[in-house]
Chains A and B, each alone.
Chain A
Amino acid sequence: MKRILVFGATSAIARACCRRWLEVAAQEGADPVHFHLVARAPEPLEQTASDLRARGAVSVTTQCADLADSAGHPALVQAALRDLGEIDRVLIAHGTLPDQAACERDPELALREFAVNGTSVIALLLHLANVMTDQGRGTIAVITSVAGDRGRPSNYVYGSAKAAVSTCCEGLRARLFRAGVHLIDIRPGFVDTPMTAGLNLPRALVATPEQVARRIVHGIERQRDVLYVPAFWALILGVIRAIPRPLFKRLSL
């Protein structure tokens, strides 16, 4: 039996991961899967839940919540625990892609975006860390981004929020390790989702949510620490991180 708690459950990557968990369960001989899904918009959330039920989830319970409100996190996690009993996997997948230019004009907007993609995730992580430590087992998976590896002029608001989460993960992973809890930092590159619709991305580098979900679910089950998806992004980011600052600041990345 696998009990999975998902935040941002209507995001394309989260939906694909949930389906992938069910596929794997079906292949490996009907390991029953229970989901508890949290998302902001009620209608997409209910449609996602019905889809997972039809695809073989034993139970799917849901909660509507705006995760930017971190005061609500403890109640959310408590309700999930009531439904699931114990938590085997947590997937944190909520987020937005801020309009960088708008953020530069309006620092208040930048802070709100930072809150959604950065501080709300950190707050949720810290709370979950306590709950999972009490449990003494389980895995927390967080979707960050390759954008967090280095600040780039085109999206450093988004990038810095993701970087904050990644750095938090690094420290928290070591803390949780002693408690028997695993934490994985998942860094996707370009994925063809509603979030990236309308962006002019290099086609050869864009993966589908189904492709990234395969690697993510595999990485979670294998307890990887940091996972670039698809794998070639590890190479690209290796090169980008190696660019010396005097040159980097002259590039329009």
Chain B
Amino acid sequence: MTDTVLSWGRYPPYPQQCTAVHWRADLPQRLAALHAEVGQTLPYGNGRSYGDSCLAASDRVLSTRPLDRILSADWERGILVVEPGITLGEILTLAVHRGWFPRVTPGTRFVTVAGAIANDVHGKNHHRQGTFGCHVPRFGLYRSQDGLVTCSATEHPELYAATIGGLGLTGILVWAEVHLVPITSSQIDGLTQRFGSLREFLDLSAELDPAHEFSVAWVDCVARGAAAGRGVYMAGDFAPAGTLEPLKEGGLSVPFTPPFSLVNRWSLRLFNEAYWRRHPARRQRARVGFQPFFYPLDGVLHWNRIYGRQGFQQYQCVIPWAAADTALPELLAVIAASGQGSFLAVLKRFGDRPSPGWLSFPCPGVTLALDFPNHRDRNAGLFGRLDAVVRAAGGRLYPAKDAHMTPDDFRRSYPRWEDLERLRDPLLLSRFWQRVTA
């Protein structure tokens, strides 16, 4: 079947034609054939990167999603060796009832393992466990000139470091060893508390993050004046006793893409006010299943369609700890003044555990992420103002979410980009890489 795909934000709108790889042994031939036909390509997993980092410069991607097999499973030690296209959700269906869980999971279970490595994704436990790449000690990488190369901290250590957070440019992942964490229940003992300002958020996370495995906060991005910076802090840990409930599939779905965005300043204000009021002012504890805790948005399939045909962009930056106090309120003031934003605006305090990856996004600091319905002045207007604040604070943007970063900002924020460029497989090139290294 011929099929075209976009990135998760549906922007920039370059439909990608897919060539699927179904067996590991077919990879060299598929890649060579595609190279002969179109020049450079890019591995594509489940399309959860938001911007153009998953789009091939040639608009012809190599889909590794069908490579979803498990090579071996050690359920005694919690070690899986998997093909690149398996998703975290598929791992969850096998692991949870056996008492295992991914050591790091992002906010969606629909990412592939290769995508999680290539973007070195993080989760609510970054302050303790670091990034996804910290828990992938070895992988096999197919390179057009070297063939299959096993990479780890000791075998081809440069390729190992370049590939974690390497945006799929160093080669095509063929297998990866993923380490899991044992759990005794699939429920989360959660804690929720509202905060009235960013200062309160920073104090709360400084107090509670060290005591909990998971933490994240929602921030009201339209609140202004005295309410500015208000939000809800959430922390949690796997409940020590409870049941191991398997993953439940299904839920609601957005069946089609409306012609315009359903997220606008009125719906946003209404939602944020209601969400704020729903949460307790005082600290409250409750036990919840792991799905609503980790994957609240996965309950609505194709939720990216609510932003309409224009698509959306996510703005995710990290501000170093020292500058967080001043830069975060500035960012929120710029966003609130614009009246734009999304229901889901996320704050999270990163820890200082280093990633093995050269181009990994997290650094010791606070990250802010929120979605914006797309329109034509977006990049020059609001994003330009936000970029100036991030730049002044010494922060940086997340390539996995990006569709607008300037080449200058990219090179300044990721000084090792030239090392990655040196190790890039010449047959692979993304629109993102073309844009920021131009």
Asked whether B69 lies within 8 Å of A51 as measured between CB atoms, the reply is yes
Asked whether A26 lies within 8 Å of B246 as measured between CB atoms, the reply is yes
Q: Indicate with 1 or 0, residue by residue over B115-148, a CB within 8 angstroms of chain A CB atoms.
A: 0000000000000000000000000000000000
Residue of B nearest to A191 (CB): B1
Contacting B at CB under 8 A, from A33-87, are: 43-44, 47-48, 50-51, 53-56
Contacting A at CB under 8 A, from B204-255, are: 246
Contacts of B94 in A (CB 8 A): 54-56
Q: Indicate with 1 or 0, residue by residue over B71-109, a CB within 8 angstroms of chain A CB atoms.
A: 111000000100000000000011001000000000000
Asked whether B70 lies within 8 Å of A51 as measured between CB atoms, the reply is yes
Contacting B at CB under 8 A, from A192-228, are: 192, 194, 196-201, 203, 206
Contacts of B283 in A (CB 8 A): none
Residue of B69, B97, B246 near A47 (CB, 8 A) is B69
Cα A221 to Cα B98 in complex, Å, equals 25
Interface window among B22-30, B304-312, B397-405: B22-30
- Distance of A14 from chain B, by nearest CB (Å): 13
Residue of B1, B69, B246 near A196 (CB, 8 A) is B1
B20 touches A (CB below 8 Å): yes
Asked whether B246 lies within 8 Å of A44 as measured between CB atoms, the reply is no
Cα A200 to Cα B72 in complex, Å, equals 36
- Distance of A155 from chain B, by nearest CB (Å): 16
A23 touches B (CB below 8 Å): yes
Residue of B23, B71, B246 near A50 (CB, 8 A) is B71
* Given A23-B93, A26-B246, A55:B70 Cβ within 8 A: yes
Asked whether A47 lies within 8 Å of B1 as measured between CB atoms, the reply is no
Cα A54 to Cα B25 in complex, Å, equals 20
* Given A50-B71, A54-B73, A194:B246 Cβ within 8 A: no
- Distance of B87 from chain A, by nearest CB (Å): 12
Cα A56 to Cα B97 in complex, Å, equals 12
Contacts of A53 in B (CB 8 A): 73
* Given A51-B70, A55-B70, A199:B93 Cβ within 8 A: no
Asked whether B1 lies within 8 Å of A192 as measured between CB atoms, the reply is yes
A27 touches B (CB below 8 Å): yes
Asked whether B97 lies within 8 Å of A43 as measured between CB atoms, the reply is no
Contacts of B73 in A (CB 8 A): 53-55
Q: Indicate with 1 or 0, residue by residue over B1-23, a CB within 8 angstroms of chain A CB atoms.
A: 11100000000000000001011
Q: Indicate with 1 or 0, residue by residue over A217-247, a CB within 8 angstroms of chain B CB atoms.
A: 0000000000000000000000000000000
Asked whether B20 lies within 8 Å of A197 as measured between CB atoms, the reply is yes
Contacts of A194 in B (CB 8 A): 20, 22
Contacts of B72 in A (CB 8 A): 50, 54
Residue of A nearest to B19 (CB): A197
Cα A47 to Cα B24 in complex, Å, equals 9
Asked whether A54 lies within 8 Å of B80 as measured between CB atoms, the reply is yes
Cα A197 to Cα B72 in complex, Å, equals 28
Cα A26 to Cα B97 in complex, Å, equals 9
Q: Indicate with 1 or 0, residue by residue over B58-72, a CB within 8 angstroms of chain A CB atoms.
A: 000000000001111
Asked whether A54 lies within 8 Å of B93 as measured between CB atoms, the reply is no
Cα A43 to Cα B20 in complex, Å, equals 18
- Distance of B83 from chain A, by nearest CB (Å): 9
Cα A54 to Cα B71 in complex, Å, equals 7
- Distance of A7 from chain B, by nearest CB (Å): 19
Asked whether B25 lies within 8 Å of A27 as measured between CB atoms, the reply is no
Chain A interface residue bracket vs B: 20 to 34
- Distance of B113 from chain A, by nearest CB (Å): 14
Asked whether B246 lies within 8 Å of A27 as measured between CB atoms, the reply is yes
Asked whether A43 lies within 8 Å of B80 as measured between CB atoms, the reply is no
Asked whether B1 lies within 8 Å of A201 as measured between CB atoms, the reply is yes
Cα A200 to Cα B17 in complex, Å, equals 13
Contacts of B80 in A (CB 8 A): 54
- Distance of B98 from chain A, by nearest CB (Å): 9
Asked whether A50 lies within 8 Å of B69 as measured between CB atoms, the reply is yes
Q: Indicate with 1 or 0, residue by residue over A147-170, a CB within 8 angstroms of chain B CB atoms.
A: 000000000000000000000000
Residue of B nearest to A194 (CB): B22
Cα A53 to Cα B97 in complex, Å, equals 17
Residue of A nearest to B97 (CB): A26
Cα A203 to Cα B93 in complex, Å, equals 28
- Distance of B90 from chain A, by nearest CB (Å): 9
- Distance of A210 from chain B, by nearest CB (Å): 10
Asked whether B24 lies within 8 Å of A199 as measured between CB atoms, the reply is no
- Distance of A132 from chain B, by nearest CB (Å): 30
Asked whether A197 lies within 8 Å of B1 as measured between CB atoms, the reply is yes
- Distance of A59 from chain B, by nearest CB (Å): 15
Identify the interface centre among A43, A54, A55, A201: most chain B CB within 10 Å of its CB: A54
Contacts of B23 in A (CB 8 A): 43-44, 47
Contacts of A206 in B (CB 8 A): 1
Contacts of B25 in A (CB 8 A): 43-44
Asked whether A54 lies within 8 Å of B70 as measured between CB atoms, the reply is yes
Residue of A nearest to B20 (CB): A197
Q: Indicate with 1 or 0, residue by residue over A14-29, a CB within 8 angstroms of chain B CB atoms.
A: 0000000001001100
- Distance of B19 from chain A, by nearest CB (Å): 9
Contacts of A43 in B (CB 8 A): 23, 25
Cα A56 to Cα B80 in complex, Å, equals 13
- Distance of B178 from chain A, by nearest CB (Å): 12
A-B contact pairs, 28 of them (CB 8 A): A12-B22, A23-B93, A26-B246, A43-B23, A44-B25, A47-B23, A47-B24, A47-B71, A48-B69, A50-B69, A50-B70, A51-B69, A54-B70, A54-B71, A54-B73, A54-B80, A54-B94, A55-B70, A55-B94, A56-B94, A190-B1, A194-B20, A196-B1, A198-B2, A199-B1, A201-B1, A203-B1, A206-B1
Chain A interface (Cβ within 8 Å of chain B)? 12, 23, 26-27, 43-44, 47-48, 50-51, 53-56, 190, 192, 194, 196-201, 203, 206
Q: Known contacts A47-B69, A55-B73, A199-B1; can you find 4 more A-B pairs with CB under 8 A?
A: A47-B71, A54-B70, A54-B80, A190-B1
Chain B interface (Cβ within 8 Å of chain A)? 1-3, 20, 22-25, 69-73, 80, 93-94, 97, 246
- Chain A to chain B: the 9 pairs with minimum beta-carbon distance, closest first: A54-B73, A54-B70, A51-B69, A194-B22, A192-B1, A51-B70, A44-B23, A201-B1, A43-B25
